[in-house]
Structures are given as structure tokens and as C-alpha cells.
Chains A and B, each alone.
Chain A
Amino acid sequence: MTELPTNTQKKLGLVIDLDICVGCHACVTACKGWNTENYGAPLSDIDAYGEDPSGTFLNRVHSYEVQPSDGGCSQTIHFPKSCLHCEDAPCVTVCPTGASYKRAEDGIVLVNEDACMGCGLCAWACPYGAREMDMAAGVMKKCTLCVDRIYNENLPEVDRVPACVRTCPSGARHFGDLGDPDSAVSQLVADRGGMDLMPEQGTRPVNKYLPPRPKDRPAEAPLAALADVKATGIAGWLDRLLEKL
């Protein structure tokens, strides 16, 4: 049913720490791996070894450079992006077939691939580019928040988190219930001033981003020390001699 639940008590989602992410793309690979072998149609690649490779991914990492307005040092920020499991998910309400839905029990936004007709309208409705049509299967793919891991009792408890969170080597990704103000993720958001992406779009995303801390000093130029070497011995004598000439 593509009407949205009025309110979901539980709001499962991710908190992504832009201060920590190093842009390694491990989460991208882990996501593709898990979701190719599990829930729904595999994430295909088209022309993978050819001239013009492209494929379906549910998580992508952009890298941005920010120039502070006060003229300080510019910062490079790696920016992972996947479905934000919005509370006012426009991708759900536009879907004509009922394939897209938001779960009342935990707020996860999913696509029932058996009902999807591949019209692509939901991908048009998402501001974040979080939905991609799989060109081999002809159905819409999106982040499932690893719904087949987080409740999966066949997995050891430590693995019952989304694949991207489990794999992130730097600890930049957190998973939890953002509907519960006392959860670790909600605390983190409160402490660090977690933010919404494109709030003007009115989607009320569940996933939050923790802003990077400003760079307090410029990175030292690694070759600066070399420019200042004082020559000693014969080279030093030559140096002084040449200077006098």
C-alpha cells in the first residue's frame, strides 16, 4: 500500500559521521555483495568488462571539497549516500502499483519486486538518488537497511546490522532506532548536531549526517622541511663560497 503510515514508532536508520569517513568505498562493496546474494533480484552490472561499464548500487560515496566562507583551509569530505528511509517518503506515495511501501513496524522503505512494473517514477520522486532501476531484472532497487540481516537469528548477534555498518573500517556508520530518543544513535545525533539532507524537500529523512568538524590548521606542506636544509661539510663550504661570489 503506497499510503504512508501516519507515524512509525520505531524509526530504524543510519547515522553517518562525515568527520570520520575516509572514502574507502568498503561500504559500497559490502552492500553490493550482500544485496546481490540476498533480498530480491541481484544487483547487476552491465558491460562490466567493456568500454562503458555501469551497474546497480544501493550506496555510493561522493567526495566533495568545501571552501570555508571565512577563507580558512578547504576540506575534503567523503560522502556516502543511500536511502534515508524518509518519514514523508515521496517515492512511496507516487508508486502506482503498491510495490513501494514504508513498514509501519520499523519505518523501513522497501520495494516488493514482484509487484513493481519498472516505471521509474519513484526514482524520479527521490531527491537523493537513492533508487536505481536494475536494468537486467527490470525492477527498482533500493537500500533495504539489510532487513534480511538485522532480524536474522541465524547470524551471530554482532552481524545483525546492515552490511555497510558491519564493514566500515573507520566506524563512520552507525545503525539504530532514531525514533527512540535514548538510543545510542539518537544520542550521537543530539551531541554532534546531526543534520538532514535537503530539508527543503520536505521528506523528513530518518538517516542523519554528522557534520565534519572544521579543520583548525592547514595541513603542513610535507616538503617544506626540505626547502630549509642547511648544508654542512664540504657542501656547506661550497654553499657559502658560491653565495659570496
Chain B
Amino acid sequence: MHPAPSVIVFTVLSGLGFGFLAYLGLGLAAPVGATAFWVWALGYAFAVAGLMASTLHLQNPRNAWRAFSQWRSSWLSREGWAAVITLVVLAPVALTAIFLRFPSATFGLPGAALALATVYCTSMIYTQLRTVPRWNLWITPVMFLGFALTGGAILAGLKWPAIVLCLALAAVLAASFVLGDRRLAESGSTLESATGLGRIGKVRLYEGPHTGTNYLMREMIHVVGRRHAQKLRVIAVVFAALLPALVLLIAPGGSLWAIALAVVLHLTGAFAARWLFFAEAEHVVGLYYGAR
């Protein structure tokens, strides 16, 4: 799949934002007063920036408001609702923490659950697609939630939970690479099944339907060099998980600089991982074009 910057930024930033908001809602980080303002603002900023980025992907954003209409069948629609409801439900929690210095743990729980539900909905937009076997797997939501919880824990300054989550995230990423590599073969889709000509024998593309390119090829067919991909996988695991864990481990507890450094490293790895998530994903339509 084409790794479009808008969707990469959307999923990474909103995942981090909602992950962080979940910890704030739970009161696991419970700032009050002016600090609370900045901390909550940071969570909202990440979440909202991600959601804004997602609209850049639309060819006809005038109709974006209609995306709220199909929550009964569409994960994209549910994601929109979950995001908006989360931000609304958490607003009084944030405001009381800022202005009344009231700890959020008492009534932030629903908002925290909704924040994680939002991340889950985002992941399901991809997981539901049988056409992209690499995504159509249980580990995709685990990976999205893993990023949200890990990034959120780092931002929330929860030293030991963050370190443990980093290590778990490294394992989930590695597993997603291994499982993902087998998925296209497991899906059973081949040029033979795509054309129904497998009953005769081995099929190969003789002539494409056109000499140029088209929307489908630009959008769905993206081939990453194998060596290139291997390097990026290592970068993703090292930056998103291992380096932040190391920084948190050796830095004195509660150091803002350490948290900032760990977040920057984590985001770098998250962007690499998300780029790969799109770029490595094979869409079965590529088969018709002789692409896999």
C-alpha cells in the first residue's frame, strides 16, 4: 500500500494522544492546576493533530461530516464517533483538574476506556480488510494499542510501566513482522485464484490493461526493497521500544528531559514502523497486475 504521509501522521499522533489521554483519565498521571493545563493540552494536541492530518487524505473533505453517519457498519465512522466522544467526555475531567484541582481518577475511567476504544477502532479500519492479508490479523489491533499504551506511559512519566511496555512492544513488533510475512501466502489469493485460470495451470501477466499507471497501482502497489525493509524494521524496534526503555532506565526518575528524549526516540521509531506497516502491506489487487 502507498505509505501516504497523512495517514501515517494520523495514526501515529492520534494513537499517542489517545494513549496519553487514557493514562490521564485513569489518574495514573494526575497533575493539577497550571501543570494540568499543559499536560492535558499536550494530550489533546496530539489527538487532534492526528485527526486533522487524517482529513488531508480526503479528496472531497466537504463531505467529511457525513463520516459520522455509518457507525453501524463502518469502522472508520465508529472511529470518528469514538474520537469525538472521548474528547468531549474527558473535557470535564481535564477542566476540574485544572480549575478545581480535583484529581481525575474518580470519574475519568469512562473517558480512558473510550480513548483506548478509539485506538482500537483506528486499528480495525486496517484489520478488517481481507484484501490486505498482512493487516487482516489479530496482531494489528494489539500493535496499535501497544503503541498507544507505550507512548502514553512514556509521556505520563510512568518509569517502570513504560519500560515493561517498551519491551512488550518490541516483542509485538517482531511478531507482527514474522506473522505478516506469511499472510499473503496464507490468504490463499494468487494470480490463479484471482483469474480463476488456475484450473488450467500457471498464470502470468502477458500484457497489462494500459501502458501507463492508474489510481489502483499508485494506491495499492508499493514494493519495498527487502534489505531496505530489514533495516527499517530494526530501526523501528530500536527507536520505538529499546532506546526509550534504556533512556528511562538510566535517567533519574521524573526527569523531564529524559521523558522528552524518550518520546522523541519513540516517535521516530513509531513513524518508521507505521511507514513499513503501509509500505510492506500487499493488496491482493496487485496480483492482477503481476505485482507479487
Contacts and interface: CB of A to CB of B under 8 A. Distances in A.
Contacts of B131: 90, 124-127, 201
B174 interface: no
B203 interface: yes
Contact of A118 (B58, B202, B285): B58
Interface in A1-41: 1-3, 18, 28
Given A52-B212, A129-B220, A132-B215, A69 B61 contact: no
Given A62-B205, A123-B219, A135-B215, A97 B63 contact: yes
Interface string A108-129: 0000001111111101111111
A81 interface: yes
A81 B187 contact: no
A76 interface: yes
A115 to B, nearest CB: 5
A139 interface: yes
Contacts of B59: 117-120, 133, 135, 138-139
B292 interface: no
B212 A124 contact: no
B202 A116 contact: no
A201 B213 CA distance: 25
Interface string B150-194: 000000000000000000000000000000000000011101011
B77 interface: yes
B80 to A, nearest CB: 7
Interface stretch (A156-164, A177-185, A206-214, A221-229): A206-214
Contacts of B191: 64
Given A116-B60, A132-B214, A200 B201 contact: no
A94 B128 contact: yes
A186 interface: no
Contacts of B202: 66-67, 69
Given A54-B212, A96-B77, A135-B215, A199 B193 contact: yes
Interface in A190-220: 195-202, 209, 211-212, 214
A121 to B, nearest CB: 6
B212 A211 contact: no
Nearest to A140: B59
Interface bin, chain B? 35 or more
Interface in A76-113: 76-77, 79, 81, 90, 92-99
Contacts of B89: none
A67 B205 CA distance: 11
Given A77-B197, A127-B131, A212-B200, A98 B70 contact: yes
Nearest to A97: B66
B76 interface: yes
Contacts of A200: 187-189, 193
Interface string A41-56: 0000000000011111
A65 interface: yes
B130 A90 contact: yes
Contact of A56 (B130, B193, B215): B215
B288 A129 contact: yes
Contacts of B63: 97, 99, 114-118
B216 A75 contact: no
A166 interface: no
Given A67-B201, A212-B200, A127 B130 contact: yes
5 pairs of A and B residues whose beta carbons are closest in the complex: A118-B59, A138-B59, A60-B209, A118-B60, A97-B66
Interface of B: 1, 57-64, 66-70, 72-77, 80, 125, 128-132, 187-189, 191, 193-197, 199-210, 212-216, 219-220, 283-285, 288-289
Given A3-B72, A124-B1, A212-B200, 10 more contacts: A52-B212, A63-B206, A65-B205, A77-B197, A95-B74, A118-B63, A120-B219, A127-B131, A197-B194, A201-B189
Interface of A: 1-3, 18, 28, 52-57, 60-70, 75-77, 79, 81, 90, 92-99, 114-121, 123-129, 132-133, 135, 138-139, 195-202, 209, 211-212, 214
19 contacts: A18-B197, A56-B215, A60-B214, A62-B205, A64-B191, A76-B206, A90-B130, A90-B131, A95-B70, A97-B67, A123-B216, A125-B131, A126-B131, A128-B288, A129-B216, A133-B219, A197-B194, A198-B189, A200-B193
